[in-house]
Chains A and B, each alone.
Chain A
C-alpha cells in the first residue's frame, strides 16, 4: 500500500471524477446533459494532466476541448433540437451485453498488465520531468526534433478541410460552375 500523499489523493479524486463523468456521458438520456458531463470529464482530465506536470497539455485540454469543441457541440445539439432523444436509445439486447462483457474483459487485461506486471520505465531523455510539460519545451521540440510531423500535419488538416467542404457544402454539383466560392 503506497503512502497516501496529497497528489495521490488528488489523483484518486480526479480519476473517480473522470470515470463518473464518462459514465454520465454515455448513460444520460438528454444530449445536453451528456455534453455537459463530457465537459466535466475534460476538466477532470485536465486536472490529471496538471498532476503529471504537463501544464501545456492541461491548458490545451481545457481551452480547446472543454472550451471550443464542447461549445460547438452544444450549439449543434441545440440547433438540431434533439428533443426526442428516446429515438436514439436502443433496446437492451444481447449485443449490448457482449459489449459490456468485452469492455470488462479488456479492462481486466489492462489492469492486469499495468497492475501486476510492473513495466520497465525507460530513462526520460535526461530531462527533468517537470520541464517536459512546459510550453517552452514543447515548442522547442516541435520546431526541432518534431519539425517534420509538425509541418506535415498541415496536409492532414488540409485534407480534413477539403473533405468537410465537399461533404457539407450545399449546392455542390454540376451547377456549381456558377457558384464562385469553394474554399
Chain B
C-alpha cells in the first residue's frame, strides 16, 4: 500500500535520516519559499534545484525511480493548468508551473521519506504546533492502517455477498451506508478500548520518546548550508 512504502523508506540510517526533524522541516520551508519566488524564466536556477534534490535523494539512499514516480501524483492537476496556460499562449509559464509543482512535491516526499512520521510530528510540536493537534495526528496515523484494512475487509465481504447483476442502485447505496455506519460504531468502540489500554500502561497525556531528539551542531550546520546554498543560487 501507498504509505507502507513511505514507512519503510523513513526507517533508513543515512546522514539525512539522522538529522533532527526540525532542521529538515525548516530546510524544506526555505526550499519551498525560494522555489515559489523563483521566476518562470530562470531555467538554470530551476535545474540547479532539481540537481540538489536528486543529490539529496541519493544521500538519503532512497530509490530515485520510486521517488520520481510517486511525486507524479501532482501531475494531473498541474498538467491541466499547464495546458490552459499553453493554449493561452504562455508556454514558458506552463512549463514552469509543471516544473515547480513537481519539484515541490519531490521535496516534501524527500522529507517524509527521510523522517519517520512520529519524529516529524515531534519536530512540528517542538516548532510550536499545539500539543493536542500533534497528539491527534499521532493517533490518526497509528490507526490509519488498522481502519483502512477494516474498510477493505468490509468492502470485500460486501462484494462477496453481492451477486453483482440485477441490483438496483438504491440498494447498493443503502448497503454502503450501512457499512459506513458500522465502521463508525466500531471505530468509536475501538477508541474507548484504546484509551483504557493506554491508561492501564501509564499514559500521562503526552507521547514520550526513548531518545529525546537533540538539535545538534550538525543539524544547525545542515540547515545553514542548505539555506545559504539555496539563497545564493536564487540571487544568482
Bound together: no
- Residues of B in contact with A (beta carbons under 8 Å apart): none
